C-alpha cells in the first residue's frame, strides 16, 4: 500500500511511522510512505501557502494552488488511482470499519491542513473523503494522518505476528478488549484472576469474552448496540451484569 501525505510538515508523519509495527511494515515493503510539501509548489521568494480569509475573521486559510499542485504531483508519482482523504474536525468519524475500507485501497493521499483550514474550492475539487479522529481541534491534520497510517498499516497482510493479530482482533469484532495480566501473580497492587492461572483454556476464553462484553457494556454501550449478540454472549453479559450489580 502506498500512502502520500500532503503537509507543510511531511516529516512529522514519517517520524510517527518509523517505529514498531508501522516501521516494520515499511521495512517489509508492505507500506510505502511519501511526503509532499505544498510550500515546494508555492511561487515567488515568499513561497506563500496561506492568505487571509475572505469575509474577515482570525487566522489564515491555505491557498488552493500549492495544495492542488502538491496533490497532483503525488497522484502522478504512481499510476494507481489514489483516494484523497482530508483530515479535519468537519469529517466523518474514523472507525475500525472505515480503517478496514481504507486499508483495502492500493493508494491513499492524506491531505493535512494547518491554520484555519483549506480553501473550500480545493476540498470540493480534489478531496474524496473528509475524516475526523475525534471532536477536538488539533494544530493540524498531521497527527490524524499518522493515526490513519498506523491503523491501515496494521491491516496489511504480513504486518502483524500472531500475538499482534490476536490483540488486533479484539477491537476488530466491535468489542473492547478484556483485561490483561502478567507476572507476578501476587503484587501489592493486587492479584491475577484465578481463572487465568487455571490452564483451563475453555474457561479462560469464556472469562475473556465475558470481560470484553462487560467492559463494552459499562464503557461503550454504543458499541454494544451495534452488536447482534448471540445467545451465548447474552448469557455471558447477563452473568457479568449480575456480578457487577450484586
Ligand X SMILES: c1cc(-c2cnc[nH]2)ccn1
- Hey, which residues are catalytic here? 89, 116, 154, 169
Bond prior to 227 in cis (omega within 30° of 0): no
Q: Which of 146, 168, 151, 157 is nearest to 17 (CA)?
A: 146
62, 85, 87, 151: which one binds ligand X (CB under 6 A):
87
Residues 204-223 that bind ligand X (CB under 6 A): none
- Interacting stretch for ligand X, rule CB under 6 A, among 59-67, 83-91, 150-158, 204-212? 83-91
* CB closer to ligand X out of 89 and 227: 89
58 binds ligand X (CB under 6 A): no
CA atoms within 13 A on the CB side of 181: 16
- Tell me if 141 sits within 8 A of 113, measured CB to CB: yes
Q: What binding mask, one character per residue, do residues 105-134 give for ligand X by CB under 6 A, x or -?
A: --------x------------------xxx
Q: Which H or E run contains 243?
A: helix 231-245
User: C-alpha distances in angstroms, 199 versus 165, 170, 196, 205?
Assistant: 22, 21, 7, 11
For residue 53, give the nearest of 45, 42, 61 by alpha carbon. Answer: 61
List the Cα angle 115/119/121 in 5-degree steps. 165
Comparing CB distances to ligand X, the nearer of 113 and 214 is 113
Distance of closest approach, residue 191 Cβ to ligand X, in angstroms? 40
Q: In the complex with ligand X, which residue's Cβ is closer, 127 or 210?
A: 127
Q: By CB under 6 A, which span of 6-14, 16-24, 86-94, 199-207 interacts with ligand X? A: 86-94
Residues that bind ligand X (CB under 6 A): 87-89, 113, 132-134, 137-138, 140-141, 144
Amino acid at each position: 500500500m502506498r500512502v502520500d501525505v500532503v503537509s507543510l510538515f511531511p516529516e512529522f508523519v514519517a517520524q510517527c511511522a518509523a517505529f514498531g509495527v508501522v516501521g516494520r511494515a515499511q521495512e517489509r515493503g508492505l507500506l510505502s510512505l511519501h511526503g509532499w510539501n505544498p510550500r515546494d509548489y508555492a511561487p515567488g521568494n515568499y513561497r506563500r501557502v496561506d492568505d487571509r480569509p475572505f469575509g474577515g475573521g482570525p487566522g489564515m486559510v491555505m491557498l488552493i494552488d500549492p495544495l492542488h499542485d502538491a496533490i497532483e504531483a503525488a497522484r502522478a508519482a504512481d499510476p494507481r488511482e489514489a483516494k484523497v482523504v482530508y483530515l479535519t474536525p468537519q469529517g466523518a468519524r474514523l472507525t475500525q470499519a472505515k480503517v478496514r475500507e481504507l486499508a483495502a485501497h492500493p493508494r491513499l493521499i492524506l491531505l493535512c491542513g494547518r491554520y484555519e483550514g483549506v480553501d473550500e474550492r480545493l476540498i470540493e475539487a480534489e478531496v474524496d473523503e473528509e475524516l475526523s479522529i475525534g471532536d477536538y481541534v488539533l494544530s493540524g491534520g498531521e497527527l490524524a494522518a499518522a493515526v490513519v497510517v498506523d491503523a491501515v498499516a496494521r491491516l496489511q497482510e504480513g504486518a502483524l505476528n500472531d500475538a499482534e493479530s490476536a490483540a488486533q482482533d479484539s477491537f476488530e469484532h466491535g468489542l473492547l478488549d478484556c483485561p490483561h495480566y502478567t507476572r507476578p501473580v501476587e503484587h501489592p497492587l493486587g492479584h491475577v484472576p484465578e481463572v487465568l492461572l487455571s490452564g483451563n483454556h475453555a474457561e479462560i476464553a469464556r472469562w475473556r469474552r465475558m470481560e470484553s462484553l462487560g467492559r463494552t457494556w459499562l464503557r461503550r454501550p454504543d458499541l454494544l448496540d451495534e452488536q447482534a449478540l448471540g445467545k451465548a454472549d447474552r448469557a455471558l453479559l447477563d452473568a457479568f451484569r449480575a456480578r457487577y450489580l450484586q
